[in-house]
Every structure is written in structure tokens, then in C-alpha cells.
Amino acid sequence: MKDEQLAKIFKALSNEQRLRIFRMLCEWQAKSATGQIEDPCAGVERCFTRTCCSIALSPSTVSHHFKELQNAGLITTSRNGQTFLCTVNADALAAIADFAESALKS
């Protein structure tokens, strides 16, 4: 991944609230993948509502943070019929891990 994209990712995650939201989305997706919980973020609306309730932020603030995470390439949203799906971008997670690993080696 190019440094420019990594800079966007780290800028998005430099906000404490966005970092908390992204961490929650990652945890929900991981738990869903292992069957610990049933499809917690079946749609953006559900993730959005759950996020608002979990961290006590206004809907407009959460909407802004979702947009910033999406613009940085950390999450993707797609439409499936009338449902919007929200997914953590595995490539972005891998890029963060690769960056950290290479930084530790130097």
C-alpha cells in the first residue's frame, strides 16, 4: 500500500472516537465470522444505530465518523437490495499490520 493511503488511514484513526468506532466494527465483524454473534452489522443502519448507542454520540457525529472511515478505505458499504452492508476492509487491516511489523523490524 502506498504511503499516501497509509497516511489517510492513520489520519482517520488519529481521532479517538473514530478509533473506538473502527475497533467496535472490527470486533463485531470478527465475532460474526466466528459465529459468536449473529450478523451484528447486517446493514449500515444497524451498525450505525448500535454504534450510536454503544458510545453515546449523536447520529450526525457517528455519520461523520463513518464517512471518514469510508473515505480512508477502512470500511466499505454496499447495497444488497434494500439493505446496506457495512464491512471492515481486510486489505486496510493488513496494511496496518504490515506497517507495524516492518516498523518493529527496523
State the Cα–Cα distance between residues 90 and 42, nearest whole angstrom.
Answer: 17
Residue 57 lies in a domain: yes
For residue range 73-93, what is the model confidence (pLDDT) as tens digits? Answer: 999 877 777 666 688 999 999
According to the model, what pLDDT value does residue 17 have?
95
| Residue among 61, 57, 56, 92 nearest 76 (CA) | 92
Number of domains observed in the structure of the chain = 1
Residue 38 lies in a domain: no
According to the model, what pLDDT value does residue 41 have?
56
Task: Give the count of beta carbons closer than 10 Å to the beta carbon of residue 94.
Answer: 11
According to the model, what pLDDT value does residue 49 have?
72
For residue range 19-70, what is the model confidence (pLDDT) as tens digits? Answer: 999 998 888 888 777 776 665 555 555 677 777 778 888 889 988 999 999 9
Residue 39 lies in a domain: no
Q: Is the pLDDT of residue 5 over 70?
A: yes
Domain membership of residue 83 as a residue range:
3-33+44-105
Residue 77 lies in a domain: yes
